[in-house]
A and B are shown apart, each in its own frame.
Chain A
């Protein structure tokens, strides 16, 4: 003998199986979910391959350069490509909007260019269908269609009283409806679980994947319970579906779109050009690293002369031009990075502001959980730029060091007029081999868990709130026939 709630749940499934509408809706949505899974996985993996290939080409090109003056290589520069994390196939997040490639060169911090959006066929925003978006928006619709009449149906047919007159308690009836909805949620989560397993086999982090899965399960549970709760309170089925759909539109479409707007209003940021201009003025009196005689480097010169105990720069065992270039680059990098960090923290504050509406909309909370766990949120975009800058500074400074130690000052100053000297300033091509391979890694999973915790809290709170409402309402079931 099954327990009472399980019998109710079984009846609910029987009802769904008989409903053509339910069948049609599920087929359509499952089709969309699977389409999203296939197309996104395909797109992300081809982006991964392409960007990785380009990264290899860029590195090989750099390493195969002929013997040159090191400073020429500073301006020759290097390219780094942002490769999406393995889990990005579930939620590409900012990937479509953020630049994918950055040119690294001396004295400048460039921005990442060529976002996939730049060349994409433009569609309404909703149609940028990804698995995450399908789970965020489409599956709640299935749950609403399945459950909006779950309680109102009994009431309309007056079967609630009959159920209550049998050995069933009101709690058992509502619990049964909830159980059925949760079972349905479980079924709907199967494609996601499958996709995650495939991705884990391909190298995605199992912990991050599990947490992502738990997040979506929590999120869909909120919608399941919410649906039963509304069905419990609504006077009839059409009122219930109206309320639920309004909630879906409000929480799923309008609040997220409004959150972006709200965030830009509350926490404005400075644009790239504005920041560039600020950097230019901050660097104005810092001296030109190409000119070792720039008065800004007077102190370096005196220090060097004292250190090596010589009278003139010509007598130094190192090439002062390289030393000055190195010092200037380091000083510039500090200033540029300060501005960049400021800009990023502004952007971060903006994103966090938008996510706060997750207290009002579980869709926004889940969106944040998903992007953070996958590693496609704004932080990852900043991390790419930070890693790129570290990589830039590393190779530029290595080249400056090479100029200081591998070339004599005498050759360096006469290379424009003296062909033999020019030849001697070309350092061996083997030096270019030292370029480090660039690889963007998602932050450690525990860091991601920490970052996602507040949004998990939002989801949990939603779940608790809906559960409490539902439990309190169950007690009065059958009393409201008037």
Chain B
């Protein structure tokens, strides 16, 4: 114990250690603070938007005399609120949408709308806690640990130190561990405080803690092992930097290329064109050509399917559905492909601790691709519930009335 205390004191006297600890502390606080502010802003924006869209929806329905008009003019806000840990890992939330203003028209024409942030800023990348842990933390460790042995050797103390230490070269493991502990602490403590204040669930917090410590230990072992095999400090540094480059840049970059080549995806533009063609073609075709496939999929409306006038809302919504139905194969292929790419990158992550760390943190924070896809499914489910709500009125099984409209489904975020 005294040994450790002495080592801690020694480490603290090292200028590089002090600066690194301070630097990492500042960065962690900055990343957590801005992440926190971001999430708070997302929550405010969502609640403001929700209120505005609700007022707008009520006003839109107010003036309507039939279900078709009500469904046409009523917009709904769908959204995925940030999780309690979202402040730590932004994931894909700054680029992929987490909120939509949508209505009962063909969903494929609406779901790809993005209320995205400034694309030039997105292309710079963001300073979030996951970035600090995955990318910056190893660099600090490398700076602090690479020269531990070599510097003593240069000062001519290496042999003496090993000889006088009760456990020989293990002394350097202890020294390295103490320095690593310093760095882990300044990153971890602010995070844990923030996570507890934000009310995150313990398993999620535990994952982030585990990832942070695991990632730090990995670089501790790598640095110290290399330092024990290579005498020259600068060489150790170069090799470690090379490994860092491999992990943060080369492996994921090559992996991305391989995965994207392996899993081909349909073109989004094609999907949109197909959807539009189907929806618009209905105007040039007989009503029967729209209603038949609709009734086949919704046999419960067979008795109400007669369309006698040139324009009837039920026919209009039938071809909206048909547009989605025709695009469904491409749309499913697209989503499955994206999810497949994400899964395969999971294998690449075993070769890149940086990627692995980012993935695990985004998963804990519920800000990764699967979380986005769960939100998308939630929107799809809501759209279905809208259709199921309106069909009885559109097809005339129920009379359109204010009382009936009072039961209009309200979007609620799905549990993750």
Contact = CB atoms under 8 A, between A and B. Distances in A.
B161 to A, nearest CB: 18
B198 to A, nearest CB: 19
Interface residues of B, number: 93
Given A24-B242, A54-B269, A260-B121, 4 more contacts: A72-B280, A127-B251, A245-B237, A257-B131
Interface in A306-348: 347
Interface stretch (A157-165, A179-187, A206-214, A274-282): A274-282
Interface in A4-45: 21, 24-25, 28, 32, 35-36, 39
A254 B116 contact: no
Contact of A254 (B27, B151, B257): B27
Q: Majority SS of interface residues in chain A?
A: helix
Contacts of A256: 124-125
B242 A28 contact: yes
Interface stretch (A91-99, A197-205, A221-229): A91-99
Contacts of A110: 113
Interface string B195-206: 000000000000
B234 A237 contact: yes
Contacts of A280: 56
Contact of B249 (A121, A126, A242, A265): A126
Given A72-B283, A121-B341, A242 B143 contact: yes
Contacts, number: 257
B268 A378 contact: no
Contacts of B30: 258, 261
Contacts of B53: 273, 277
A238 B131 CA distance: 27
Interface string B24-57: 0001001000100110000001000100110010
Contact of A347 (B118, B352, B358): B118
A277 B272 contact: no
14 contacts: A21-B238, A25-B238, A58-B273, A97-B116, A113-B113, A114-B112, A126-B135, A238-B151, A258-B30, A260-B122, A273-B100, A273-B101, A378-B119, A378-B120
A76 interface: yes
A28 B246 CA distance: 9
Contact of A39 (B127, B248, B257, B368): B257
Nearest to B23: A246
The 10 closest A-B pairs by CB, nearest first: A114-B268, A127-B252, A125-B125, A257-B127, A123-B252, A378-B120, A272-B115, A113-B112, A260-B121, A97-B119
Given A97-B95, A118-B96, A280-B56, A32 B259 contact: no
B254 A119 contact: no
A35 B255 contact: no
A121 B255 CA distance: 9
A350 B338 contact: no
Contacts of B255: 121, 123
Contact of B259 (A51, A96, A121): A121
A378 B101 contact: no
A249 B96 contact: no
